[in-house]
Chain A
Amino acid sequence: MKYDFIIIGAGVVGASVARELMKYDVTALMIERENDVCNHASLANSAIVHSGHDPVPGSLKAKLNVEGNALYEQLEKEIEIPLLRSGAFMVAQTDEEVETLMNLRDRAKENGVPEYRLLDREEALKQEPNLHPDVKMVLDLPTTKVTYPWEVTLASAENAIDNGLDFKKATEVTGIEKTNEGFKVKTNKGDVFKSRYVINAAGGFSDKIAKMVEKTPEFEITPRRGEYFVIDRHMEGFVDHVLYPTPSSKGKGVLITPQVHGELLIGPNSEFQDDPENVDNTKAGLSFVRKESMRLAHNIPFNKVIRTFTGVRASSTHKDFYISESKEAPNFIHLGGIDSPGLTAAPAIGRYVLEEIIMKKETLLENKDFNPYRKKIHQFHDMSEKEKQEAFRFDPRYGNLICKCEKVTEPDVVHHINRSVPGDTVKGIKKRSRAGAGLCQGGYCEHNVIHLIARETGKKVTEVEYYDEHSNILKGETKVKK
């Protein structure tokens, strides 16, 4: 069969474009190299829906950031993604920083950020008592929000699939051939998919994909890593706002970000590296993050760190987002250099690709059956008492607690296993249900999850994967068979 569109990459950008496409009467396929959606930049970032105070006025980043921020309100209603309306404080501690802060306030205005104001030291400390006492002035950005990037990507992908998108996971695009009618997209699994358009949403690999059809792409990815600490959600309330330092020539600095589930993120730093996939944690990176963060707040509870992680930004030589049809291969659309604020901008990028690129080339018919709504899985312990009783009457297995730290029940897990983007790996379940994401990091629930996946998918327990293909946790039976 021949598709109208093939999207390469199922990060937040690919999934957002896919969802936007399915509003039209088209056929489309999304191909992802990893064994699930949302694994690279879209998984490991600060989760902030930025207000738009930061990008250079007039840039695509500025435009799509401010539009994206507003679209998140709609996403919350349509596909039920979580939003924490935290607001943000940008903190200035020196006269020089106060001056930069004033400039950023002007920039916020120019970029069309709907709300912003300056707070003096006293007001700032009143609202955030854990702020470092050296604070001189704060730029308050109330439209800044925090979301759960994983859920945004999953929800967008699920909604697109439910509206007709085809999806292949664990499939890597290895070559692209231009033909008279469009493209032949080849994969490591041996398939060849035909399509009229190709959309390159391959994040840190978008320049490599570009090179499959172009001699000299106009952008090159310069991967930039950022490391984080995660602090246990029992410290919820340590800060209520996203805290940014005032940016300097050295970069945007290390942030403190409250998360939708109550954890705190401390990070990121910013270091260039060659490999877009290297997410090792380094001692140097983490000590830098720790040191810098202590300039922002007092007594950060580093003794409550539950884990660390690294994300890699797909920064590029183009500086701004590179969103454009290929100059060499018509109908091939690049979404390159989507680093921060790519998460915020993603829903706006989807619209931009359709309205400013595709619809300028041809008219697409509306998909009359498009259902913009996607229901999230309402997990038992988020239910009201009345809902719990009803749910339990309907399925007594709701009484079986699988994960003690995050309070996840058996049907919660089972529902995630059986969705349109199935959570059929241990990490897939962790990402979806939070079973294993809490204090004991799966020590208690992992075996429960393995058994449920085996039962629901008909696999042997020794075939259940941690995440990637062939990453099974149980390698075989013991000498004494039970």
Chain B
Amino acid sequence: MKYDLIIIGGGAAGLAALKSAYDPNLNILLVEREKTLGGILKQCIHNGFGIHKYKEELTGPEYAVRGINDVEDLDVDVVTDTTVIDVKKENGQFSVRMTNTVDGDHEREAKAVILGSGCYERTRGAIQLPGTRPAGIMPAGSAQRYLNLEGYMVGKKVFILGSGDIGLIMARRMKLEGADVKGVAEIMPYSNGLTRNIVQCLHDFDIPLYLSHTVSDIRGKSTLEGITINEVDDEFQMIEGTEKHFDVDTLLLSVGLIPDVNMFESLTFDMSRKTNGAIVDQNYQTSVEGLFACGNALHVHDLVDFVSEESEKAGAAAKEYLLKNKRKSDKTIDLEPSNNVGYVLPQKLDMSDEFDKVEVSFRVTTRGDKGVFVVHQGEQEIMTKKARFVMPAEMEKLKIKRELIDTDEPISIRFEVKE
């Protein structure tokens, strides 16, 4: 079976991409490995989704249902319970290998592919926590899955390392389920989660947040018995004498998410060391022609609304690629992060493309209540935008007009904090 487009993943990203890529003249297949569509949203039973897109506060599953309804009547193929295990590009065609219990290990061909496979959680090994290695230490998202989708508790006395959103949400969730949540430790001097989550998940439940703290010891041979946290200095070195001990049976980790695109072993595309995802142009096209990426598979988002928005653009771009036979050009300009900015996306502008302005997403590396984003091309400052209450946890966006881009030198974005 030959397709024009195969979309990998049926979460918020895949669904939005499918909606905008749809065209009666295109043969499209969406592949999802779980039984039902919706992705990570299914387990996010708290509210706070859709404020930008639908101007209401929905729960994760409600948001997912809207995305599913949008594509329900489209004449496309959607397969669930099917996992993509490899993607290969040969002679201008993609062959997508997938597996399920109906067709076994099989291949489908396509002219274009969109990666909407979401992300996975960083684990203990990646952050090299000291101490013993008992049962009872797990990523917060895994605990969320057990709790919200399967109905099981992973522990009764809980500590959380990392103040990412999932950690904060889980602090409240475990508390509501009757667990004793002893605290959240964050190595940075500020929280990594959205402000509203700090307020609603920690403050409202009197759960202490230990900023500039990290886990310095783990105890227990077969099951977790306790942990120690220490304060850290400006260089993240532990300060002796600041030990605090907690007797817990569970340590949840909320220490970062990584785009999940490594399982497609035959597929090599230019990767960004900063986002751990693909390097893309403004059409979300990767260095491989016809391969697009969006959502958490491209870079980790804090708001699903932005996932949908981005993925609709990626879907539309894939459609144009297929219908108008639009090809990549070499006429590209690099977009780079500069002072106080961690990453910028897209990383490349394809100047052969017609566009009036391009929307750029980026994350800062430092907090600032007041400041300004400065866009440079070469020596030239080409635009500025005032910024308020900026923090690494929240993705920023700005639009650059094409008329401001004069040369083919790289464009960079920096963040100046004003006291």
Binding site for B on A (CB under 8 A): 230, 234, 277, 279-283, 286, 303, 305-309, 380-381, 388-389, 392, 396-401, 404-405, 407, 409, 439-444, 446-447, 461-462, 465-482
User: In the bound complex, do residue A306 and residue B120 qualify as a contact, i.e. CB atoms below 8 Å apart?
Assistant: no
Q: Which residues on B sit within 8 Å (CB–CB) of A442?
A: 123
B49 to chain A, nearest CB (A): 21
A460 to chain B, nearest CB (A): 10
26 sampled A-B residue pairs with Cβ under 8 A: A282-B130, A388-B104, A392-B104, A396-B104, A399-B99, A399-B104, A400-B101, A404-B83, A405-B263, A407-B263, A441-B123, A443-B142, A446-B142, A447-B142, A447-B145, A461-B152, A466-B134, A466-B223, A474-B146, A474-B154, A475-B152, A475-B153, A475-B155, A477-B153, A481-B151, A482-B150
A449 to chain B, nearest CB (A): 12
Q: Which residues on B sit within 8 Å (CB–CB) of A474?
A: 146, 152-154
Q: How many angstroms between the C-alpha atoms of A447 and B146 in the bound complex?
A: 8
Other than the given A467-B135, A478-B152, 20 more pairs (CB < 8 A) read: A281-B130, A307-B123, A307-B125, A309-B133, A397-B101, A400-B101, A401-B85, A404-B263, A405-B263, A439-B120, A440-B123, A443-B123, A444-B120, A468-B135, A473-B136, A474-B146, A474-B154, A475-B155, A476-B152, A477-B152
Closest to A391 in B: B104
Q: Which residues on A sit within 8 Å (CB–CB) of B99?
A: 399-401, 409
Q: Which residues on B sit within 8 Å (CB–CB) of A397?
A: 101
B134 to chain A, nearest CB (A): 7
Interface hub of A277, A282, A474, A477 (most chain B Cβ within 10 A):
A474
Within 8 A of A (CB), among B109-132: 120-121, 123-126, 128-132
User: In the bound complex, do residue B100 and residue A306 qualify as a contact, i.e. CB atoms below 8 Å apart?
Assistant: no
Say yes or no: is B156 at the interface (Cβ < 8 Å to chain A): yes
Say yes or no: is B1 at the interface (Cβ < 8 Å to chain A): no
Q: How many angstroms between the C-alpha atoms of A439 and B124 in the bound complex?
A: 12
Say yes or no: is B105 at the interface (Cβ < 8 Å to chain A): yes
Interface size on B, residues (CB 8 A): 49
Say yes or no: is B139 at the interface (Cβ < 8 Å to chain A): yes
Q: How many angstroms between the C-alpha atoms of A320 and B223 in the bound complex?
A: 36
Q: How many angstroms between the C-alpha atoms of A380 and B99 in the bound complex?
A: 11
Tell me whether A401 and B135 are in contact in the complex, defined as CB-CB below 8 angstroms, given that A469-B222, A473-B154, A475-B249 are known contacts: no
Contact with A along B147-164 (1 / 0, CB 8 A): 100111111100000000
Say yes or no: is B178 at the interface (Cβ < 8 Å to chain A): yes
Q: Which residues on A sit within 8 Å (CB–CB) of B136?
A: 466, 471, 473
User: In the bound complex, do residue A470 and residue B151 qualify as a contact, i.e. CB atoms below 8 Å apart?
Assistant: no
Q: How many angstroms between the C-alpha atoms of A280 and B120 in the bound complex?
A: 26
Tell me whether A389 and B104 are in contact in the complex, defined as CB-CB below 8 angstroms, given that A234-B262, A475-B155, A477-B153 are known contacts: yes
User: In the bound complex, do residue B262 and residue A476 qualify as a contact, i.e. CB atoms below 8 Å apart?
Assistant: no
Say yes or no: is B328 at the interface (Cβ < 8 Å to chain A): no
What's the count of A-B pairs with C-beta under 8 Å? Answer: 142
Say yes or no: is B53 at the interface (Cβ < 8 Å to chain A): no
Q: How many angstroms between the C-alpha atoms of A478 and B83 in the bound complex?
A: 30
Say yes or no: is B379 at the interface (Cβ < 8 Å to chain A): no
B169 to chain A, nearest CB (A): 16
Q: Which residues on A sit within 8 Å (CB–CB) of B120?
A: 439-440, 443-444
Q: Which residues on B sit within 8 Å (CB–CB) of A303?
A: 273
Q: How many angstroms between the C-alpha atoms of A66 and B369 in the bound complex?
A: 68
Q: Which residues on A sit within 8 Å (CB–CB) of B260?
A: 440
User: In the bound complex, do residue A396 and residue B154 qualify as a contact, i.e. CB atoms below 8 Å apart?
Assistant: no
Tell me whether A307 and B152 are in contact in the complex, defined as CB-CB below 8 angstroms, given that A443-B139, A467-B222, A471-B135 are known contacts: no
Q: How many angstroms between the C-alpha atoms of A333 and B131 in the bound complex?
A: 35
A256 to chain B, nearest CB (A): 18
Instruction: Tell which of B132, B153, B154, B262 touches A279, judged by Cβ atoms closer than 8 Å.
Output: B132
Q: Which residues on A sit within 8 Å (CB–CB) of B121?
A: 440, 443
Q: Which residues on B sit within 8 Å (CB–CB) of A444?
A: 120
User: In the bound complex, do residue B222 and residue A281 qualify as a contact, i.e. CB atoms below 8 Å apart?
Assistant: no
Q: How many angstroms between the C-alpha atoms of A279 and B100 in the bound complex?
A: 40
User: In the bound complex, do residue A396 and residue B263 qualify as a contact, i.e. CB atoms below 8 Å apart?
Assistant: no
Say yes or no: is B177 at the interface (Cβ < 8 Å to chain A): yes
Q: Which residues on A sit within 8 Å (CB–CB) of B222?
A: 466-471
B121 to chain A, nearest CB (A): 5
Tell me whether A475 and B154 are in contact in the complex, defined as CB-CB below 8 angstroms, given that A234-B262, A399-B101 are known contacts: yes
A204 to chain B, nearest CB (A): 15
Say yes or no: is B141 at the interface (Cβ < 8 Å to chain A): yes
User: In the bound complex, do residue B101 and residue A466 qualify as a contact, i.e. CB atoms below 8 Å apart?
Assistant: no
User: In the bound complex, do residue B128 and residue A308 qualify as a contact, i.e. CB atoms below 8 Å apart?
Assistant: yes
A454 to chain B, nearest CB (A): 11
Q: Which residues on B sit within 8 Å (CB–CB) of A470?
A: 222-223
Closest to B142 in A: A443
Q: How many angstroms between the C-alpha atoms of A2 and B311 in the bound complex?
A: 70
Q: How many angstroms between the C-alpha atoms of A206 and B209 in the bound complex?
A: 47
Tell me whether A441 and B151 are in contact in the complex, defined as CB-CB below 8 angstroms, given that A279-B133, A475-B156 are known contacts: no
B268 to chain A, nearest CB (A): 10
Q: Which residues on B sit within 8 Å (CB–CB) of A380?
A: 105
User: In the bound complex, do residue B153 and residue A478 qualify as a contact, i.e. CB atoms below 8 Å apart?
Assistant: yes
Q: Which residues on B sit within 8 Å (CB–CB) of A467?
A: 135, 222
Q: Which residues on B sit within 8 Å (CB–CB) of A234?
A: 262
User: In the bound complex, do residue B33 and residue A306 qualify as a contact, i.e. CB atoms below 8 Å apart?
Assistant: no
Q: How many angstroms between the C-alpha atoms of A441 and B124 in the bound complex?
A: 9
User: In the bound complex, do residue B104 and residue A407 qualify as a contact, i.e. CB atoms below 8 Å apart?
Assistant: no
Closest to A380 in B: B105
A205 to chain B, nearest CB (A): 15
Say yes or no: is B103 at the interface (Cβ < 8 Å to chain A): yes
Interface hub of B146, B177, B249 (most chain A Cβ within 10 A):
B146
Q: How many angstroms between the C-alpha atoms of A469 and B128 in the bound complex?
A: 26
Instruction: Tell which of A230, A407, A465 touches B85, judged by Cβ atoms closer than 8 Å.
Output: A407
Q: How many angstroms between the C-alpha atoms of A465 and B153 in the bound complex?
A: 14
The 4 closest A-B pairs by CB, nearest first: A307-B125, A468-B222, A466-B135, A392-B104
Q: Which residues on A sit within 8 Å (CB–CB) of B33?
A: 401, 404
Closest to A406 in B: B263
Q: How many angstroms between the C-alpha atoms of A457 and B134 in the bound complex?
A: 23
Closest to A446 in B: B142
Q: Which residues on A sit within 8 Å (CB–CB) of B139?
A: 443
Q: Which residues on A sit within 8 Å (CB–CB) of B177?
A: 478-479
Q: How many angstroms between the C-alpha atoms of A396 and B99 in the bound complex?
A: 10
B223 to chain A, nearest CB (A): 5
Closest to B149 in A: A447
Q: How many angstroms between the C-alpha atoms of A220 and B368 in the bound complex?
A: 61
Contact with A along B206-245 (1 / 0, CB 8 A): 0000000000000001110000000000000000000000
